């Protein structure tokens, strides 16, 4: 009879054999437990108790210290984020360019003065008749000093005129006549027959504070072109002028270097504030060309205003 082979319940302990009495489930649990890190040992009871007593006793100071540290941290963080960076030359150039593009350049002193005096400057023409037509024989300049139409100019601008015509700032034209003269200063005072409704007289200013180097402008009709403006400075005071043929000597004149030519005569010499300090009357020229070489003369406004009987000084 064939016998059944019997196997022993114990197995040979090989190198990979499980420990005796371990099941598959228990082996899995053991492996998982081996992977979990061990918890740190709990502090001794005495240390915990001491910390609790310390924190309870000093709770308020600790709270203040913690709040202060938090505040300092916030301020430091904000400062580091908002602190301005150092400007570079490129930043400065960019800012300047941006400003120039957005902001118009301010007007010059001469431009401001011209805008102020322009409504008070008039064109003075000597008018003659040829073949029953009016013909302009000479041209000069004048300045209005009263709303009624009183105008200052030079005698040589109107001398020998058959008729005098004045053209105002707004284009209005009127005949005018001489009401008084002051030959020693080459000054004539005109009165027009009609005046514009919005006629604006010039503001007159004493020459007492005038100094060489002060900015001035001359406004007139040089060679009939105008109104024209030129700018310069006061070159000197209390100058004398002798006409080319020695027929006339003018004294106590303002010397200036703003360009003046024939046609500027009788026009105002104006400060940077737009106020009249003189009446342009002559230019110095060593030639016969009658062109400007850098030296002009004006009668002080004190003399000119006195000729009109309206001196405010």
Please enumerate in sequence order all residues whose Cβ is within 8 A of that of 129, keeping only pairs 6 or more positions apart, or say none: 135, 162
Set 228, 230, 231, 265: catalytic member: 265
- pLDDT (tens digit, 0 to 9) for every residue of the chain, 313 residues total? 444 434 444 444 444 444 444 544 445 444 544 555 555 565 566 666 666 666 666 666 667 667 767 777 776 666 666 556 677 888 778 877 777 677 777 889 999 999 999 999 999 999 887 776 778 889 999 999 999 999 999 999 999 898 999 999 999 999 999 999 999 999 999 999 999 999 999 999 999 999 999 999 999 999 999 899 999 999 999 999 987 766 778 999 999 999 999 999 999 999 999 999 999 999 988 777 778 889 999 999 999 988 888 765 6
Record the tokens describing residue 171, joined without a space: 């284009």
pLDDT of residue 14: 47
> Residue 192: which of 215, 176, 172 has the closest Cα?
176
Do residues 269 and 277 lie in contact, with contact meaning Cβ atoms separated by under 8 Å?
A: yes
pLDDT of residue 29: 44
Phi, psi for 234 (deg, rounded to 5): -75, 125
User: Is 156 designated active site?
Assistant: yes
Do residues 141 and 220 lie in contact, with contact meaning Cβ atoms separated by under 8 Å?
A: yes
Q: How far is CA 26 from the centre of its chain?
A: 93
Query: Which residues, listed in sequence order, are joined to residue 249 by a DSSP beta bridge?
Result: 242
Q: Give kind and range of the element (H or E) at residue 157.
A: helix 155-158
Q: How far is CA 135 from the centre of its chain?
A: 46
CATH T-level topology, domain 113-307 = Thrombin, subunit H (2.40.10)
Set 109, 156, 273, 311: catalytic member: 156
pLDDT of residue 10: 46
Helix axes 59-82, 45-57, angle to 10 degrees: 80
User: Is 98 designated active site?
Assistant: no
Set 120, 165, 185, 186: catalytic member: 186
pLDDT of residue 291: 81
Taking the C-alpha atoms of residue 149 and residue 205, their distance in angstroms, rounded to an integer, is 19
State the pairing for strand pair 249-256/268-271: unpaired
pLDDT of residue 122: 98
Do residues 279 and 151 lie in contact, with contact meaning Cβ atoms separated by under 8 Å?
A: no
pLDDT of residue 154: 96
């Amino acid at each position: 009879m064939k016998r059944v082979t019997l196997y022993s319940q114990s197995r040979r302990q090989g190198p990979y054999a499980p420990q005796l009495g371990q099941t598959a489930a228990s082996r899995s649990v053991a492996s998982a437990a081996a992977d979990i890190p061990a918890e740190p040992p709990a502090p001794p009871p005495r240390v915990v108790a001491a910390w609790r007593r310390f924190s309870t006793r000093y709770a308020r100071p600790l709270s203040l210290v913690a709040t202060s540290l938090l505040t300092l941290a916030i301020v430091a963080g904000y400062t580091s984020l908002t602190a301005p960076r150092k400007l570079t030359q490129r930043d400065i150039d960019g800012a300047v360019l941006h400003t120039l593009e957005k902001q118009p350049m301010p007007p010059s002193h001469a431009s401001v003065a011209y805008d102020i005096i322009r409504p008070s400057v008039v064109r003075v023409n000597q008018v003659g008749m040829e073949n029953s037509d009016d013909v302009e024989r000479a041209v000069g300049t004048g300045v209005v000093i009263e709303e009624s139409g009183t105008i200052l100019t030079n005698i040589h601008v109107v001398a020998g005129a058959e008729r005098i015509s004045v053209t105002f700032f707004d284009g209005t034209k009127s005949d005018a006549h001489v009401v008084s003269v002051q030959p020693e200063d080459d000054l004539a005072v005109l009165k027009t027959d009609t005046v514009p409704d919005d006629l604006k007289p010039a503001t007159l200013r004493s020459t007492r504070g005038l100094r060489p180097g002060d900015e001035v402008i001359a406004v007139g009709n040089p060679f009939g072109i105008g109104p024209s403006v030129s700018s310069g400075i006061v070159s000197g005071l209390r100058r004398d002028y002798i006409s080319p043929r020695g027929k006339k000597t003018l004294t106590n004149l303002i010397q200036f270097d703003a360009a003046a030519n024939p046609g500027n005569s009788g026009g105002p010499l104006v400060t940077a504030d737009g106020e009249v300090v003189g009446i342009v009357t002559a230019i110095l020229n060593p030639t016969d060309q009658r062109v400007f070489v850098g030296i002009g003369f004006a009668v002080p406004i004190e003399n000119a205003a006195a000729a009109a009987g309206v001196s405010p000084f």
